Amino acid sequence: MEYFETFDDAGERLGLVARDVVHRSGLWHKSAQVFVFDEAGALLIQQRAADKDLYAGLWDYSVGEHLQPGESFVAGARRGLREELGIDNVELSALGELRRVRQHGDGYDDRELQRAFRCRWSGQLTVDPVEVAATRYIDITSLRDWVERRPEDFTPWLKIDLEEFGLI
């Protein structure tokens, strides 16, 4: 059972709550997202594993990671890169500011305090098959065209963030 550190609307810590309860009840919790680019400027996207509880099989951030209790955004981003893609020792640059993001759908109400980062990586990937079904680098023009043509292939949060951060 995974537990998230939760927060009230003012950002004050409430305590640890089971992941499924957090997502079902709309409790604030923290996450980090990473956009990985290669040297040519293509973005690495990952296809979520088939057994994910939300949006299984859809294309998503390079890495999206819920933070462990007490973990910083940078530490969570680095852990996600290492665990999901085998990427280590990269320089992370903040992308935007700390954000409060709420997404809801059938059976979930996700409220996250989010911090996004970008980095460059051209090395080998070691993908965790439990988390990731596939990865691919895609140039921004091709990604924009794909999102416009088949938005159902992508997680709702990726589509929003690509636009919000001016990536497509």
Distance CA 62, CA 134 (A): 11
**Structure confidence by residue, pLDDT tens digits, 14-55:** 999 999 999 989 999 999 999 999 999 999 999 999 998 788
Top-tier CATH class for 3-164: alpha beta
**Structure confidence by residue, pLDDT tens digits, 53-97:** 788 999 999 999 999 999 999 999 999 999 999 999 999 999 999
Query: Which has the closest alpha carbon to 147: 127, 126, 135, 163?
Result: 163
Distance CA 102, CA 41 (A): 29
Say what the pTM is: 0.93
